[in-house]
């Protein structure tokens, strides 16, 4: 791309969208690429399939795109003087990118600077100050700094309601973040109350299949699952999966996240066949999105093996657990807690086989 095209591309990225990172991942698809000479396309695709493979190529493209955007944002930040609004806005964008990528320490440092900078420029109740506080709350929550997250989230939500009003989208996002913190703290009744309030307002404000509405539905479904309100959880998650497939697409990570949660609900309600079908679909999508050795893919593989065991399909469970253990040991190490969990399950299946013989 030319410098102008690069600038236009960066300007068009919505870093503040809640699912920015996931949306890019879901839309990287090398199979949809065209060659400069259309007659070369089949030969190029054949070489890719015989060498790196399309899944690995998609991950390489995404990683390259991520690294390039990070470099460009860092260059932009370095070019601005202290207390320039553009500098803090780019720091917010970079922090959001890091946060979505799981780099919470780097994201937290950037958001902390932004909270201080925007508060100094505009005051604590300004939109930019509150936005930075809300993002820092999310990072604290994701870093298991739950007490700090709850205190900051409560402060931000109170200010949002006062300044923006309870129906403002930023208030709803902040409310959702705080409810997540309460859920992680196992303050389930408080989390449920916030999610229910949030969902009622969001459905009045947006359409029923708006991505934000779907996120709240997924979160409320998880709380109900934890509260053993399985019938309510199943009902809302079925609706959420249908909406997410339609709006985001079946390959979107958030669609898969809701599908995996629904599979757990099916399992808890002894609907094992439905749980297996849903988990198997999640596994296939994650293998395409992330690769067979990705930790999330391995967790889903383990869950599928556990469901096979409940169906007394021990041979299939054993084969999955062997593959899962080998991959996890190679990628995460034999001493990793998940690797050890898989090995324990595998040994149980082997022991059961010997007893049955």
- Together in a domain, 148 and 236: no
Q: Tokens in use for 254? A: 């958030």
Residue 155, Ramachandran bin (φ over 0: left; ψ between -120 and 50: alpha; else beta): alpha
- Together in a domain, 19 and 132: yes
pLDDT > 90? residue 135 = yes
Look at residue 1 and tell me if it is in a domain: no
- Together in a domain, 125 and 28: yes
Per-residue confidence at 286, pLDDT binned at 50, 70, 90? very high
CATH number at 203 reads 1.25.40.10
Look at residue 283 and tell me if it is in a domain: no
Q: Which of 42-46, 94-98, 180-184, 209-213 has the lowest mean pLDDT?
A: 42-46
- Together in a domain, 265 and 210: yes
For residues 83 and 258, the model is more confident at: 258
Closest C-alpha among 278, 277, 274, 294 to residue 286: 294
Look at residue 285 and tell me if it is in a domain: no
Q: Tokens in use for 95? A: 């922090």
Q: What is the pLDDT of residue 274?
A: 97
Distance CA 18, CA 14 (A): 9
Look at residue 51 and tell me if it is in a domain: yes
Q: What is the pLDDT of residues 294-317, one digit of tens each?
A: 889 999 999 999 999 999 999 999
Predicted model pTM: 0.74
Look at residue 286 and tell me if it is in a domain: no
Collect all residues with Cβ–Cβ distance below 8 Å to 145 and sequence separation of at least 6.
Answer: none
Q: What is the pLDDT of residue 62?
A: 67
- Together in a domain, 151 and 16: yes
- Together in a domain, 271 and 300: no
Q: Identify the domain boundary among 126, 146, 174.
A: 174
Q: What is the pLDDT of residue 234?
A: 98
- Together in a domain, 310 and 348: yes
- Together in a domain, 104 and 234: no
pLDDT > 70? residue 27 = no
- Together in a domain, 231 and 103: no
- Together in a domain, 140 and 89: yes
Q: What is the pLDDT of residue 1?
A: 57
Q: Identify the domain boundary among 149, 174, 199.
A: 174
Distance CA 320, CA 314 (A): 10
For residues 19 and 150, the model is more confident at: 150
Closest C-alpha among 229, 202, 206, 230 to residue 216: 202
Number of domain units in the chain: 3
Look at residue 271 and tell me if it is in a domain: yes
Distance CA 98, CA 92 (A): 10
**Structural domain of 352:** 292-357
What is the percent of the chain where pLDDT is above 70?
Answer: 86
Mean pLDDT (whole number) for 34-54: 70
Q: What is the pLDDT of residue 211?
A: 92
- Together in a domain, 15 and 141: yes
Distance CA 252, CA 25 (A): 8
Q: Identify the domain boundary among 275, 310, 328.
A: 275
């Amino acid at each position: 791309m030319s410098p102008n095209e690069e600038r236009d591309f960066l300007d068009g990225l919505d870093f503040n969208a809640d699912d920015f990172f996931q949306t890019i991942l879901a839309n990287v698809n090398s199979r949809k690429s065209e060659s400069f000479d259309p007659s070369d396309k089949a030969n190029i695709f054949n070489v890719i399939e015989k060498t790196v493979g399309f899944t690995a190529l998609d991950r390489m493209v995404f990683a390259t795109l991520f690294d390039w955007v990070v470099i460009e944002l860092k260059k932009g930040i370095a070019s601005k003087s202290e207390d320039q609004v553009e500098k803090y806005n780019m720091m917010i964008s970079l922090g959001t990118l890091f946060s979505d990528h799981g780099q919470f320490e780097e994201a937290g440092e950037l958001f902390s600077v932004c909270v201080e900078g925007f508060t100094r420029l505009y005051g604590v109740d300004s939109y930019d100050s509150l936005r930075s506080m809300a993002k820092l709350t999310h990072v604290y929550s994701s870093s298991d700094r739950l007490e700090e997250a709850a205190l900051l989230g409560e402060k931000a939500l109170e200010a949002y309601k006062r300044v923006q009003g309870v129906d403002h989208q930023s208030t709803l996002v902040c409310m959702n973040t705080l409810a997540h913190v309460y859920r992680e703290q196992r303050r389930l009744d408080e989390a449920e109350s916030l999610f229910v309030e949030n969902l009622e307002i969001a459905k009045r404000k947006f359409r029923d299949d708006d991505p934000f509405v779907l996120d709240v539905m997924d979160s409320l479904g998880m709380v109900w699952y934890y509260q053993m309100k399985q019938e309510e959880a199943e009902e809302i998650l079925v609706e959420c999966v249908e909406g997410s497939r339609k709006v985001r697409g079946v390959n979107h990570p958030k669609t898969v996240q809701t599908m995996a949660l629904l599979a757990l609900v099916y399992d808890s309600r002894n609907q094992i066949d439905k749980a297996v079908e849903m988990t198997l679909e999640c596994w296939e999508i994650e293998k395409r999105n992330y690769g067979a050795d990705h930790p999330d893919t391995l967790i889903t593989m383990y869950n599928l093996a556990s469901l096979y065991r409940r169906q007394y399909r021990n041979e299939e469970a054993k084969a999955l657990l062997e593959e899962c253990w080998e991959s996890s040991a190679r990628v995460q190490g034999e001493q990793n807690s998940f690797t050890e969990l898989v090995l324990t399950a595998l040994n149980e299946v082997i022991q059961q086989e010997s007893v049955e013989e």
